[in-house]
């Protein structure tokens, strides 16, 4: 029997009155989403690994660390996130980078793998890429706590990263042209190529990526990230491009069409005001281009993989 949503999420309490017309509609929609997701054969949320087994690379299996950055206002997201992704086949550990507020107890999180909560001293987006000697895997998947996708596509991304561990491998491509104007994925599609991968959902080599991000070379970029409270993912792309020379620095993997962005429900994402968010990111593109060189002379086409995972 498919499970159903049986309570109002914390962020809607006080806003949704079940007796009102709007309340009944909101609860009906939530019930529909909950039933739809729980009935899917992929075990999308609250059950199953999402992949029958991990994807082999050169006849070998390996594991990765899942890292997410969050704070107290997003605890509802985190609980759902941990319960789902801890059941993915190749996840060894989940590291929660806690930026603000009182952290939860690990026992509050329903996880099939070890969870470690790393409490940071100050609220900075740069914390996402802090060097962490307790991470035991080479591969880290940085994945925002408001992104829900099937484990099968997470496993595919990990398979691609193992082919190219020197690259950022992720699910959200962007294209930066000479105008240095930040645009959504639609712009990359219209130009039939990409030169940036958002690290809100990307695999990376922890030692290489974090060491580079915390280097003296990256210090002016980190300071700009703190000033804007934005763009840590953009900065890492510029650093990868700078380090790779003419070689390919990023790799796109197409996710499932079924991806749930829970920030649309919680209203606590920094990207909530799209126009303001894009303006800040355009400023970052211009600043990082001055510091580390432009990305506009790079472009990699969609559809270059033989397995078709990037179409």
Q: Which one-letter DSSP state was computed for residue 72?
A: G
The answer to whether the beta carbons of residues 8 and 27 sit under 8 Å apart is: yes
- Residue limits of CATH 3.90.550.10 in the chain: 42-301
Residue 182 tokens, joined: 């930040």
Place of tokens 């009102």: 20
Q: Specify the DSSP element, H or E, that contains 219.
A: helix 219-228
> What confidence tens digit (pLDDT) does each residue in 275-298 have?
999 999 999 999 999 999 999 999
> What confidence tens digit (pLDDT) does each residue in 176-190 have?
999 999 999 999 999
* Closest residue by Cα to residue 96 from 108, 88, 267, 87: 108
User: What does the pLDDT average to over 138-156?
Assistant: 94
Instruction: For residue 36, give Cα distances in angstroms to 33, 42, 44, 85, 260.
Output: 5, 11, 10, 18, 12
CATH ID of 42-301, from 3.40.50.12500, 3.90.550.10, 3.30.70.580, 1.10.540.10: 3.90.550.10
The mean predicted confidence, pLDDT, of the chain is 85
Q: Which residues are catalytic?
A: 233
The answer for residues whose C-beta is within 8 angstroms of residue 52's C-beta and 6 or more apart is: none
In SS3 terms, 190-206 reads as HCCEECEECCCEEEEEH
Can you point out the beta strands (E) in 88-205? 91-98, 115-119, 139-143, 147-148, 168-170, 173-174, 193-194, 196-197, 201-205
pTM, to two decimals: 0.83
Other Cβ atoms less than 10 A from the Cβ of 74: the count is 24
């Amino acid at each position: 029997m498919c499970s159903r949503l049986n309570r109002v999420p914390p962020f809607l309490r006080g806003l949704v009155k079940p007796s009102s017309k709007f309340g009944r509609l909101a609860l009906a929609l939530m019930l529909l989403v909950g039933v739809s997701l729980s009935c899917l054969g992929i075990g999308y949320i609250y059950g199953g690994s999402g992949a029958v087994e991990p994807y082999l690379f050169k006849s070998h299996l390996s594991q990765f660390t899942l890292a997410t950055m969050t704070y107290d206002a997003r605890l509802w997201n985190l609980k759902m996130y941990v319960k789902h992704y801890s059941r993915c086949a190749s996840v060894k550990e989940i590291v929660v980078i806690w930026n603000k507020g009182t952290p939860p107890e690990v026992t509050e999180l329903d996880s099939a793998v070890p969870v470690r909560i790393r409490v940071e001293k100050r609220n900075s987006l740069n914390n996402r890429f802090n060097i962490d000697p307790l991470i035991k895997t080479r591969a880290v998947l940085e994945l925002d706590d408001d992104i829900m996708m099937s484990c099968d596509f997470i496993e595919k991304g990990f398979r691609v990263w193992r082919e190219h561990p020197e690259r950022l491998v992720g699910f959200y491509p962007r294209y930066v042209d000479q105008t240095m104007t930040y645009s959504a994925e639609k712009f990359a599609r219209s130009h039939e190529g990409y030169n940036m991968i958002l690290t809100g959902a990307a695999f990376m080599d922890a030692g290489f990526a974090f060491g580079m991000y915390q280097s003296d070379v990256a210090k002016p970029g980190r300071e700009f990230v703190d000033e804007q409270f934005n763009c840590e993912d953009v900065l890492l792309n510029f650093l990868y491009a700078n380090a790779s020379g003419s070689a390919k620095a990023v790799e796109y993997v197409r996710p499932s069409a079924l991806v749930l962005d829970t920030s649309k429900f919680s209203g606590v994402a920094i990207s909530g005001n799209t126009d303001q968010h894009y303006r800040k990111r355009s400023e970052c593109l211009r600043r990082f281009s001055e510091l580390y060189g432009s990305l506009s002379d790079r472009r990699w086409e969609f559809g270059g993989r033989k397995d078709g995972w990037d179409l």
